[in-house]
A and B are shown apart, each in its own frame.
Chain A
Amino acid sequence: MAANGKPDPATERNETTVERKSARELVVTRIFDAPANIVFKAWTTPELLQRWWAPKSYGISFIACEADVRTGGTYRFVFGHPSAPEPMEFIGRYIEVTPNVRLVWTNEEAGPDGAVTTVTFEESDGKTRVVMHDLYPSEAALDAAIESGSTGGFGESFEQLDPVLADEALKKP
């Protein structure tokens, strides 16, 4: 995609793109209108992270957001959703933290089949291209994640999501 150095028209418009790059890899790409140090800070400071990681349009709220962002540090995110009887917990370890450049963490809430997530921050002309790369231990593990239907978000099914959006719309004056 960007390998030939040509800008990707989709990401030029700050669109979020997702691609299954290979049997066990999933890649999310987005460009942000800010230098890498700012974008990196927003990914690595718990107070900032919790302002965007649980999107309001999904009705998700943070119950706990603990992130010791340094190599070997751990994180623990706990979310709540009005339709979920139990809070949802996400845990893992940061295996690489290179300021303003690269962030690598494990996803261990589901056991050994979890992906390793690598996020790179590439600054150019004052903008930052963020590439988030999920590498699963096997093709079967990624297929299983897809088959489970879970994306790690809330409002998992569209039927669930739509009433949430409708609720949000009603709340507006």
Chain B
Amino acid sequence: MVQHQHTHLDTSFAALSDATRRGVLEQLGRADASISELADQFGMTLTGMKKHVGILEETGFVATEKVGRVRVCRLGRHPLTAEAAWIEKYRQLWAARFDALDQVILEMKQKERPRGRKRKA
């Protein structure tokens, strides 16, 4: 069960590793959109956007449907769609904080160093 969920999350995170794809999910969270609308909005070619939407469709994050001559995209039934997107956003916030914390810690260590005693490993 837990293992299954991990695999699920790995695939989800891979699909969400791209800023454009995350942006597409955010956009579709607000309203459905056609591939060409998404391409326009993200300043991409139609082919490029089709590729991103394809990856999101494979993981179940996005579902598409042909309506007349337009392919409409909406959020898929992936149970983790909203959750994975939020968790990734949350992770990015903490990763940014912790990168800054690394700097603070480095300076604190340098200040301590003159004592020259090696800490117990």
Contact = CB atoms under 8 A, between A and B. Distances in A.
A135 to B, nearest CB: 15
- Interface of A, secondary structure class, is mixed
B52 to A, nearest CB: 14
Interface string A8-39: 00000011111110000010101011110011
B97 A162 contact: no
A32 B112 CA distance: 16
A41 B83 CA distance: 33
A42 interface: yes
B70 interface: no
Contacts of B108: 34, 38, 41-42, 48
A18 B109 contact: no
A159 interface: yes
Nearest to B103: A52
Contact of A16 (B82, B86, B91, B119): B91
A86 interface: no
Interface stretch (B19-27, B32-40, B59-67): B19-27
Contact of A146 (B83, B95, B99, B100): B83
Contacts of B89: 151, 153, 156, 158
A152 interface: yes
Contacts of A19: 9, 87
Given A32-B102, A158-B22, A159-B26, A126 B95 contact: no
A14 B71 CA distance: 42
B23 A159 contact: yes
A77 interface: no
B105 interface: yes
A18 B105 contact: no
A157 B26 CA distance: 8
Top 8 A-B pairs, shortest CB-CB distance: A52-B100, A55-B96, A153-B93, A16-B95, A52-B101, A18-B91, A151-B90, A146-B86
9 contacts: A16-B91, A18-B90, A18-B91, A38-B105, A42-B105, A52-B98, A56-B100, A146-B83, A159-B26
Interface of A: 14-20, 26, 28, 30, 32-35, 38-39, 41-42, 48, 51-53, 55-58, 125-126, 132, 146-147, 149, 151-153, 156-159, 162
Given A58-B96, A156-B89, 16 more contacts: A14-B102, A19-B9, A26-B87, A26-B90, A28-B90, A30-B98, A32-B105, A33-B102, A38-B109, A41-B108, A51-B103, A52-B101, A52-B103, A52-B104, A153-B89, A158-B19
